Structure 1
Amino acid sequence: MGEILVGTCSWTDRALVGSSWYPAGRRDAEGRLRHYAERFPVVEADSTYYGLPSVRTSELWARRTPDGFVFDVKAFSLLTGHPTRPAALPPGLPADVRSPKALDEVWRRFADGVRPLREAGRLGAVLFQFPPWLRPGARARDVLAECAARTAGWPVCVEFRHPDWWRDEERRATTAELLRSHGFSAVAVDMHPSLPSTVPPVTPVTSPGLAVVRFHGRSPAWGTGSKEDRFRHEYADEELREWLPRVRALAGRTERVHVLFNNCCADAAVRAATRMRELLRDGA
């Protein structure tokens, strides 16, 4: 049976920092991370989606966390085809930021930024969350092939946002084999079950080392409204229990499972993660 690590998709989210979860005296950058790492064994670093990670920051993250703690690092937005703020880009890039020369430099800086985590044994995976426009097809296969070439030797997990990737048994088998051919771990998701953009809660295993489950919450405002509207959800026990046999089945087929909560409204994610650990521990 593989190890199951439960945590959240951020420890610096503004809503969490503004809640009462971090005690007085532990609300600075170092204190927050140490407080979090004393309570959970894994976290997703989502700040690396909005800005390239720095070597210094990764060194501090490694230094401030105990042995065995791991970070899943979200890939920078430009590397997954998302819109990217000009202010988030390093200076001196060509005007066409998607040109081969510009992308080479961005990939280099991203690799440098995560290297301290890799060297310290703190890198759980790099998460490539692709946008809804990336549908199955030749273009997507090319994108994944380039990603594999750029990340050779890295632990990588992939989340698709378009539901066609997992729409039926035939497509699921094709998608799983594509990820498996690149050594990528598939990301399973929990979200509102009946929206047009809903990705079904399938749990394929495409890498023997890692499987990932991300709980986005079940807000009907997914894809619309403010960030708070999209992620506002309090997981009930019965919703978490739906996932217990799936998570345990993943652990039976992989060395490690990361279960991460992304319902980042106030302290909802840390409370859901805590409850999920209790249910898994108690055999509920």
Structure 2
Amino acid sequence: MGDIVVGTASWTDRTLLASGWYPASADTPEKRLAYYAKQFPIVEVDATYYGPPNEQTTKLWAQRTPDGFTFNIKAFSLLTGHPTKVSAIYKDLRPETDKKNVYPGDVPPQAYEEIWSRFLTALDPLAQAGKLGAVLFQFPPWFGIRRSNKDFMLEVAERCKPLRAVFELRNASWFEGANQTETLDFLRAHELPFVCVDMPQGHKSSVPPVVAATADLAVVRFHGHSDKWTSKDIHEKFGYEYSAKELAAWAPKLRDLSDKAGQVQVFMNNCYSDYAQRNASTLIDLLDSD
């Protein structure tokens, strides 16, 4: 079996802080990160989707965690084609517009290039410390299967080198009928790591939980099965606690995936209260039980 590491998609969520998961002694951001890093070997940083990080912050993350700890970074929304708040963009690169949200096409080409450069440069302290795992590119639901989107994924992978980009597709067209084989073959041909997601089914934004290795790294993200998936309230959307039975059904799939990929990163993204942390601990125990 290859290497499987399990963590969560947050360590700072306010409902987690209120849940009592952290001991009273972990009363500062520094102590909370240190405590988290004793429980899990990896974390996914989702805050970087809403606003790009700065080097001072990533330097502190590197300093406050032990050797061998890994951070995966979610790509800034503008770099994945999502609508992005103008206020989230670097001050000197903000487009002159009355719009609250902008897309890549609303930003001057030179500014767009500079945003890419600054985002990736901010990750240098983690990379230099050997603590940067991968950069998650989660594409919008309207990013469907077509040649231009495949070309953009190749462009993203090239831009990120030598950093590793991993790809989460959220449009069902990639997986319909023969498209699924075409999608996975494309990813394998270019050694692009595929991100499998477990999420509520039956919605317009639903994609199936395809478990597949397309490179020497595979990522699995657990979004939960909330019956309020379409809610604008992020805690209602992700407020789902997996049962031990549900997680036990995933353990053999993850082991099989690690045989094929070599390394598997697993993230519980059901970030409400301490659901993700408790589910991650349960899944680790299940994987260790054999």
After TM superposition, is the score higher than 0.5? yes
Sort the Cα spacing of 1:180 and 1:98 in 2 relative to 1 into closer, same or farther, 3 A: farther
Cα deviations by residue, 1:117-141 (Å, 9 ceiling, x for unpaired): 1111101110000010100013312
In the alignment, does 2:170 pair up with 1:140? no
> 1:119 matched to which residue of 2?
128
Query: 1:145 deviation in Å?
Result: 2.6
In the alignment, does 2:247 pair up with 1:240? yes
- The one-letter amino acid of 2:31's match is G
| Contact persistence 1:125–1:154 (CA under 8 A) | yes
Report SS of the residue matched to 1:252.
Answer: helix
Query: 1:87 deviation in Å?
Result: 1.5
Query: 1:173 deviation in Å?
Result: 1.7
| Contact persistence 1:148–1:182 (CA under 8 A) | no
> 2:7 matched to which residue of 1?
7
Query: 1:258 deviation in Å?
Result: 0.7
Structure 2: unaligned runs, 5 residues or longer:
97-104
| Contact persistence 2:156–2:165 (CA under 8 A) | no
| Contact persistence 1:167–1:200 (CA under 8 A) | no
In the alignment, does 2:289 pair up with 1:282? yes
Residues in 2 aligned to 1:99 and 1:160: alpha-carbon distance in whole angstroms: 26
> 1:268 matched to which residue of 2?
275
| Contact persistence 1:117–1:123 (CA under 8 A) | yes
Residues in 2 aligned to 1:238 and 1:174: alpha-carbon distance in whole angstroms: 33
Query: 1:97 deviation in Å?
Result: 4.7
* Range moving further from structure 2, 101-110 or 223-232: 223-232
* Range moving further from structure 2, 136-145 or 262-271: 136-145
Query: 1:199 deviation in Å?
Result: 1.1
Residues in 2 aligned to 1:176 and 1:243: alpha-carbon distance in whole angstroms: 21
Q: Percentage identity across aligned positions?
A: 46
Tell me the TM-score normalised to structure 2 length. 0.93
Residues in 1 aligned to 2:251 and 2:201: alpha-carbon distance in whole angstroms: 17
Residues in 2 aligned to 1:33 and 1:181: alpha-carbon distance in whole angstroms: 38
> 2:206 matched to which residue of 1?
198
Report SS of the residue matched to 2:195.
Answer: strand
Query: 1:223 deviation in Å?
Result: 2.9
Query: 1:144 deviation in Å?
Result: 1.2
Query: 1:245 deviation in Å?
Result: 1.4
Report SS of the residue matched to 1:157.
Answer: strand
- The one-letter amino acid of 2:186's match is L
| Contact persistence 2:136–2:168 (CA under 8 A) | yes
Report SS of the residue matched to 2:136.
Answer: strand
Cα deviations by residue, 1:88-147 (Å, 9 ceiling, x for unpaired): 111222437533211111001111111111111101110000010100013312321321
Report SS of the residue matched to 2:92.
Answer: coil
- The one-letter amino acid of 1:191's match is M
2:164 to 155, 160, 165: 155
Query: 1:203 deviation in Å?
Result: 1.1
Query: 1:152 deviation in Å?
Result: 2.1
Structure 1: unaligned runs, 5 residues or longer:
none
2:112 to 103, 114, 123: 103
Tell me the TM-score normalised to structure 1 length. 0.94
The two structures, once aligned, show a CA RMSD in angstroms of 1.4
After superposing on structure 2, the runs of 4+ consecutive aligned residues of structure 1 that deviate more than 6 Å are none
| Contact persistence 1:205–1:254 (CA under 8 A) | yes
Structural mapping, 1:40-55, within 5 Å: 40-55=40-55
Sort the Cα spacing of 1:27 and 1:174 in 2 relative to 1 into closer, same or farther, 3 A: farther
Cα deviations by residue, 1:68-93 (Å, 9 ceiling, x for unpaired): 11011000010001111111111222
Residues in 2 aligned to 1:89 and 1:225: alpha-carbon distance in whole angstroms: 23
- Corresponding pairs, count: 281
Structural mapping, 1:207-226, within 5 Å: 207-208=215-216, 210-226=217-233
